[in-house]
Structure 1
Amino acid sequence: MRTTSIPASARRVALPLLGSAALAASALFAAAPADAAPGHGVAWNRSCAVVTTVGQAYCNALHVTSIAEHVHAMGVTPNAVPSGFGPSDLLSAYNLPANGGAGQTVAIVDAYNDPNAAADMATYRSQFGLPACTVASGCFKQVGQTGTSKLPRNNSSWSGEISLDLDMVSAIAPNAKIILVEASSASMTNLGASVNTAASLGATEITNSYGGSESSADTGYDTSYFNHPGIAITVSTGDSGYGVEYPAASPYVTAVGGTALKKDTSARGWSESVWNTSKTEGASSGCSAYEPKPSWQKDTGCTHRTVGDVSAVADPATGVAVYQTYGASGWTVYGGTSVASPLIAGVYADAGAHAAVPAADAYAHTTALNDVTVGSTTTCTPAYLCTAEVGYDGPTGLGTPNGLTAFTG
């Protein structure tokens, strides 16, 4: 378990949050006090162990373990809200419509099986007043990597990632259809094959909250698995600070970095900084060792592809509410860039129309994003690869959503 220091002020983290369980609730977050430093004051662990073997990936979900829930642990809890940001918070922070996603199909690619995926997502959606999305209605589909009903073996670590992904897509694009494609293992070839399956099943957006070490094989994976023109493919950049993961480095995807998100008294009502816990923990960023620089990326500090493109909340200390019963016991809080990737996939679903390579949309509309200018993960050269600056920087890319313009082709 990764444990950060918990100052006395952080012991006030778990005060009860009572009120409507519907989307009208605006103060759903109880994971960190206002005076706690971003990235500190909570304890968390990685849902998936870090894997450095080339060709293998691991999920980027961070499970917060130090938050006391003040709702019933299991099921829907009327007149109370779980800890962590809920849908109304995220829609408010990123200026998004409340009923987005109609006509779109968001696919979630993960490894292994979550046997409780459909039931847990149903609880999350009911708790927050979102429309039901079920297998029976045709809204939800859960398949193996070949697209059939034959699912891989159960895995409690990846189930946390699956619950997080389903809940974030539900929060941001509640009227989209959802396909969960479960790879037979966490190899890049099986995960990549699952991306192809998602595309073949009609996905308009595909989110991937996993990554692994870069290798010379990556450009081949690009061609085989990630080149799907017109489909918005989002990938979390990783949670290990300065450094690059694949497939976030692919020029065919939108690489999604991470921020710490806080309520404030500004006109927006929110502020963001680079998510950073330590020099080795925070939003990953940097220069790819192998991937060519896409034509739409104009920064000069990397001769190859620069990571990332855009960002969203990822700090475990400003994490999101998730409902998970396989590998957890109900309501819990998650962080990591695994929050940000499905969130941005949901934004693309809300927008509904994409360029051939949807990442290019943001570079064509840079002023239609919340520019993150505070914070860093470490020191590096050039500095913008690990330090927030006006305009583009590595950890947060061009910024976070401010409506749909930057995600519309």
Structure 2
Amino acid sequence: MPGNSGKHGHAPDGKGQTVAIIDAYASPTILADANAYSAAYGLPPMNASNYQQIVPSPAEFKDEKLCGYPSGWQPEQSLDVDAVHGTAPGAKILYVGGDNCNAGIDIALSTILDGKLANIVSHSYGNLGEAVSANYLFGQVNLELQAAGEGIGLYYSSGDNGDEAANLGYTSPDFPASSPWAAPAWPSPRTVPTSLKPDGATPGTRSSTAPTMRHCPDPSGSGPAVE
């Protein structure tokens, strides 16, 4: 229930915490959408005191077709902000957008970790299964270890397709949600072109949770791409 209040009492509202959200690109209506949601559910409005963003300009967006276009990511961005604000209305929210769904989102995470800008980081994406390249695994685990050392929690989409047997032919969790240095989070259904998908794509590719975006193969061949 929005506001974290229900028959079991009122849970902590997140005051004193900052939750960062990472996706590719940036919708121009995130804040307006969040305030429409807040008004509908009696939540405090979002403004400069509790919402900030670090995003590329549209001119800086890259790999738009490969990543399912910025418009494919926009509903997810608003959904993520609404979900965090509804669960923890007292927390501050920082939205950080990557300039693409590949290295751009890794840079977004580095920006948060290097500046210690949040206590929790929410990622609505992940890989399809765990068959990722050694190069990608090395880079991802380095980021996770940095976060662990700084006391910052990383939460990744655990996928929209259960045990992935229908997609992979065998059961497997999704990485990075399965990493010992991160935690899984339940996603919302979404998908992207099979080449670069946010939430549910092909083995060894990154996935997120954006419309028609699932996992995306890395064009360089060095590892998963992402949504």
Name the SS for the 1:217 alignment partner.
Answer: helix
118 and 218 in structure 1: CA distance in 2 versus 1, 3 angstrom threshold: same
**Partner Cα distance (2:50, 2:97) in 1:** 17
Structure-1 residue corresponding to 2:112: 198
**Partner Cα distance (2:46, 2:127) in 1:** 32
155 and 124 in structure 1: CA distance in 2 versus 1, 3 angstrom threshold: same
Structure-2 residue corresponding to 1:241: 162
- TM-score norm. by structure 1 comes to 0.38
183 and 258 in structure 1: CA distance in 2 versus 1, 3 angstrom threshold: closer
The AA in structure 2 aligned to 1:256 is A
Name the SS for the 1:240 alignment partner.
Answer: coil
**Partner Cα distance (1:96, 1:184) in 2:** 41
1:253 aligns with 2:171: no
Structure-1 residue corresponding to 2:53: 142
Note the C-alpha offset of 1:225.
2.1
Structure-2 residue corresponding to 1:124: 37
92 and 249 in structure 1: CA distance in 2 versus 1, 3 angstrom threshold: same
Equivalent positions of 1:142-181 (< 5 A) are: 142-144=53-55, 150=57, 152-153=60-61, 155-181=70-96
CA contact (8 A) 1:233 1:254 kept: yes
CA contact (8 A) 1:143 1:150 kept: no
**Partner Cα distance (2:162, 2:118) in 1:** 31
203 and 96 in structure 1: CA distance in 2 versus 1, 3 angstrom threshold: farther
- Aligned Cα root-mean-square deviation (Å): 3.2
CA contact (8 A) 2:38 2:44 kept: yes
Structure 2: gaps spanning 5 or more residues: 62-68, 164-171, 190-199, 205-209, 212-227
**Partner Cα distance (1:100, 1:167) in 2:** 14
**Partner Cα distance (1:252, 1:236) in 2:** 14
Note the C-alpha offset of 1:190.
2.0
Note the C-alpha offset of 1:202.
1.8
Note the C-alpha offset of 1:172.
0.8
Name the SS for the 2:185 alignment partner.
Answer: strand
Structure 1: gaps spanning 5 or more residues: 1-85, 260-274, 276-283, 290-326, 328-333, 335-409
Equivalent positions of 1:293-304 (< 5 A) are: none
**Partner Cα distance (1:140, 1:176) in 2:** 9
Task: Summarize deviations over 1:244-277 as a string: whole Å, max 9, x none.
Answer: 3222132211112479xxxxxxxxxxxxxxx9xx
| Fraction of identical pairs, as percent | 29
**Partner Cα distance (2:92, 2:6) in 1:** 22
91 and 186 in structure 1: CA distance in 2 versus 1, 3 angstrom threshold: farther
**Partner Cα distance (2:187, 2:9) in 1:** 18
**Partner Cα distance (2:9, 2:79) in 1:** 19
130 and 247 in structure 1: CA distance in 2 versus 1, 3 angstrom threshold: same
Note the C-alpha offset of 1:221.
2.3
CA contact (8 A) 2:124 2:187 kept: no
Task: Summarize deviations over 1:326-378 as a string: whole Å, max 9, x none.
Answer: x9xxxxxx9xxxxxxxxxxxxxxxxxxxxxxxxxxxxxxxxxxxxxxxxxxxx
Note the C-alpha offset of 1:91.
4.5
Note the C-alpha offset of 1:191.
1.4
Aligned pair count reads: 171
Structure-2 residue corresponding to 1:310: none
**Partner Cα distance (1:99, 1:131) in 2:** 15
Note the C-alpha offset of 1:157.
1.2
